[in-house]
Structure 1
Amino acid sequence: MTHKDDRQEFEDHKKAMSLALGRDSEAFNEALELLLTLNKYDYSYLWSWMGVPIIQMPADVMATQEVIWNTKPDIIIETGVARGGSVIFMASLLAAMGNDAGKVIGVDLDIRAHNRETIENHVMAKRITLIEGGSVDDDVLAKVKAEIPPGARVMVVLDSDHSYEHVLAECRAYGPLVTEGCYLVVADTLIGHLTEELALKRSQVWYKGNEPLHAVNVYLEENDRFEMDAVLNGKLVLASSPNGYCRCIKA
């Protein structure tokens, strides 16, 4: 029996449904209500990657995987290392894709000794460089730039201090490092949909106005190198970072 090649049809349907979902505010609000319920159980803290806590929603992990596969970065910079699962996750994708020179640079103000030990003893350690210090400090930025070889394709994930001023400062500092066709990912933009009363339980509490979504919107207004990926962001319900995936469209 011969079957028609429906691969493009399948992809076209995915795109149409993702865009339609992105326009469905009722579905988004229902998902938000469910996430607020799940937050009572520290839902984003329940997952790990290759044995290390990743502290992300499964949908965001899948979205980041799609971006890395589709854009093939050589260098991925992440601000906010936490327990290390995310840098290990991205390093493992570079390894699986056969990018032997690929590297993840993890930047954090405070890389705790036990978390550093976990990362540096992991099978993916040789693909990870850790830099400790304030992500927008001049000396830290100089160290990050020194790790980027000429001609490398660069992707950036911002997932540290989620206050508006800090995220906007990170966008301005790290956005210029992103190469054309690659992504700037601003994490936890979901906070931009929460009032003070609905703020997620965290070590610090942010809510609408003082959060990453506000920062990325301001950055996109002042910078014409990026656009939000409507298809990818459209399907990011039950996720931490809707409208946080921005594609670099200019060199």
Structure 2
Amino acid sequence: MDFKDLFHKYYYDTHVWSEGNTSWLGVPTLKCPLDLWIYQEIIYETRPDWIIECGTNLGGTSLFLSSLCDLIDHGKVITIDIADNKIPKTHPRIRYLIGSSTSEEIIEELKKTIPKEDSVMVILDSDHSKNHVLKELEMYHSIVTKGNYLIVEDTNINGHPVLPEFGDGPMEALEEFLSTNDEFIIDQSREKFFLTFNPKGYLKKIK
């Protein structure tokens, strides 16, 4: 294991990034702050009309994304979770959907809500099992618009380089998806800070 991976594992295992340790405006945000900075750059550059987040959890990331939309005065967030965690629903740019990110009902609601001409970015951060992430990739890749990003989170698990005991997860789903899909490229320029929880997970739609 090289120094970069050793530091990644050390940082991850401290759980400084986890619930109770990192927050956005007081709301727990289970993210590496370096990835959040990259999200800021992507949103400023691409100015998506809609950001779809699969996996609301405690709501910190959706609040962060909506705050960025406030700063550029553009965009809305739709966040999806199978559980209603009773998050205070106070930000006007956020819409909360309760249900599985891979259910036909949720997909139909997204299609009904988002005008066909609007630009869309998607972040996958729900169930991290390979089969679930692969199904999300198959269902959401067509919703992402050309020039925008499909971000697969937590590709670092299952030994990439953390949690080697996890089993097949987001990285393995991503690799299988890309083996048959040429609409996206891995934008490794988004890994410029060296530490990212989403290695190879910043997918830019080019077709």
Question: Larger RCO: Structure 1 or Structure 2 (Cα < 8 Å, ≥ 6 residues apart)?
Answer: 1
State the secondary structure of the residue aligned to 2:14: coil
Question: Could you report, residue by residue, the CA deviation over 1:18-57 in whole angstroms, capped at 9, with x for unpaired residues?
Answer: xxxxxxxx7xx32322232233431221221122111100
Work out whether 1:241 is the aligned partner of 2:203: no
Percent identical among aligned pairs is 35
Q: Flag structure 1 segments of 5+ consecutive residues without an equivalent.
A: 1-25
Choose between structure 1 and 2: higher helix proportion: 1
Q: How does 1:1-251 map to 2 (within 5 A)?
A: 29-45=2-18, 46-99=21-74, 102-113=75-86, 116-117=87-88, 120-121=89-90, 125-194=91-160, 199=163, 206-207=166-167, 210-233=168-191, 235-250=192-207
TM-score, scaled to structure 2: 0.92
Q: Give the superposed CA RMSD.
A: 1.7
Corresponding letter in the other structure for 2:134: L
Larger radius of gyration: 1
| Offset at residue 186 of structure 1 (A) | 0.2
2: CA distance between counterparts of 1:35 and 1:92? 28
**Displacement of 1:236:** 4.7
Query: Match for 1:141: what amino acid?
Result: I
Amino acid at match of 1:237: F
CA contact (8 A) 1:162 1:206 kept: no
Check whether the contact 1:183–1:248 (CA below 8 A) recurs between aligned residues: yes
| Number of residue pairs aligned between Structure 1 and Structure 2 | 205
Aligned partner letter, 2:112? A
What secondary structure, in the 3-state scheme, does the structure 2 residue paired with 1:126 have?
coil
Q: Give SS of 2:48's match.
A: coil
The CA deviation at 1:153 is 0.6
TM-score by length of 1: 0.77
